[in-house]
Amino acid sequence: MTEFAERYGPWAVVAGASQGIGEAFARALAGRGTNLVLVARRPEPLTALAEALPVRTVTVAADLATAAGLAAVFAATAELEVGLVVANAAYWPSGLFVDAAEGDLQRIIDLNCGAPVRLARHYLPPMAARRRGGLIVMSSASGLQGNPLLTAYAASKAFGAVLAEGLWWEMRGSGVDVTACVAGAVSTPGLTAGGRRPPPGTVAPDEVAAAALAGLGRGPRVVPGALMRVSTALMSRLMPRKSAIDLMARATKAALPSGDDKDGAA
Ligand SMILES: NC(=O)c1ccc[n+]([C@@H]2O[C@H](COP(=O)([O-])OP(=O)(O)OC[C@H]3O[C@@H](n4cnc5c(N)ncnc54)[C@H](OP(=O)(O)O)[C@@H]3O)[C@@H](O)[C@H]2O)c1
């Protein structure tokens, strides 16, 4: 067993493991010898990923925006020692807030905010009892200020970062490490969904997963990538708030297919 698997093993739950950053987390964790519970709605990519990994795996096809989906994950892990949870699944439709369907807004709240809270509440107490474990909550640079055209999503990412930071403090001394991973643009199917274009400075999912895992136990938040660390510091500390919001609006609009800023396509 690797040092990492001893510290955070033997099992990790990766929420949203079927593609993108979640898949990169799964591969990175498998490389560190951690067995994996892979969760997402579509079973096929989960099975394909599980078959390619050199560790023990359990796949759970579940909608984490629902109580039934969360219950399925808890049932599937009832007999496993889960030492790490990566709260990564998220929904991020773009478009004007006033045009968004109420169901889409509810899904953002349930998946991006509700699922990390429920996962944390379920898995952290047994980790603390064993005096070892970890939780990573995927957040975003979108959540560092208002992000027009991704307004509710950005607010949900601020929620995730603040949740993780509070938990980081509360779990200190319990043997359980909590960190928020505040990523900039990452080249995933989610980023380019609906014809969105990757902005300059987009990084690879592997880089994000590696930075988050390396940052676990080193503080309340990780910002992957040197360029992103500089730009988030500039935007959140030096730039006037209005300018930071305006910059995010322009960057998000530039990434959308033309004319799509009024249509809320994901
Ligand atoms: N990509 C970026 O530029 C970027 C930047 C900053 C932060 N982030 C954050 O990083 C995380 C991952 O982003 P990503 O770009 O890799 O996302 P993505 O490509 O959209 O993938 C999302 C993953 O979550 C799963 N998922 C979606 N809805 C789900 C649900 N209701 N229940 C269970 N699983 C669900 C998806 O699988 P199924 O469709 O099979 O369910 C998929 O595996 C998110 O928290 C995002 O906010 C991303």
| Helix/strand/coil (H/E/C) assignment for every residue in 6-49 | HHHCCEEEEECCCCHHHHHHHHHHHHCCCEEEEEECCHHHHHHH
Amino acid identity of residue 14, one-letter, is V
Q: Is the CB of 19 under 6 A from ligand 1?
A: yes
Is the Cβ–Cβ distance between 171 and 178 less than 8 Å?
yes
Question: Reduced to 3 states, what is the DSSP secondary structure of residue 179?
Answer: strand
Query: Which of 41, 202, 208 to mutate for ligand 1's pocket (most ligand atoms within 8 Å of CB)?
Result: 41
Q: Active-site positions?
A: 153, 157
The residue whose C-alpha atom lies closest to atom 47 belonging to ligand 1 is 90
Amino acid identity of residue 192, one-letter, is T
Question: Could you tell me which of 170, 220, 177, 18 has the C-alpha nearest to residue 83?
Answer: 177
Looking at residue 263, its pLDDT comes to: 38
Is the Cβ–Cβ distance between 160 and 143 less than 8 Å?
yes
Give pLDDT tens digits along the chain (266 positions): 789 999 998 999 999 999 999 999 999 999 999 999 999 999 999 999 999 999 999 999 999 999 999 999 999 999 999 999 999 999 999 999 999 999 999 999 999 999 999 999 999 999 999 999 999 999 999 999 999 999 999 999 999 999 999 999 999 999 999 999 999 999 999 999 888 899 888 999 999 999 999 999 999 999 999 999 999 999 888 999 999 999 999 999 999 986 454 433 32
Cβ neighbours around 234 below 10 Å, total: 12
Give the start-to-end residue ranges of the domains of the chain.
Answer: 3-262
For the domain bounded by 3-262, which CATH number is listed?
A: 3.40.50.720
Give 89 Cα–ligand 1 centroid separation in angstroms. 4
Looking at residue 260, its pLDDT comes to: 53
Looking at residue 257, its pLDDT comes to: 84
Give 205 Cα–ligand 1 centroid separation in angstroms. 11
Beta bridge partners of 39: 15, 60
Q: Is the CB of 145 under 6 A from ligand 1?
A: no
Looking at residue 266, its pLDDT comes to: 28
Q: Is the CB of 197 under 6 A from ligand 1?
A: no
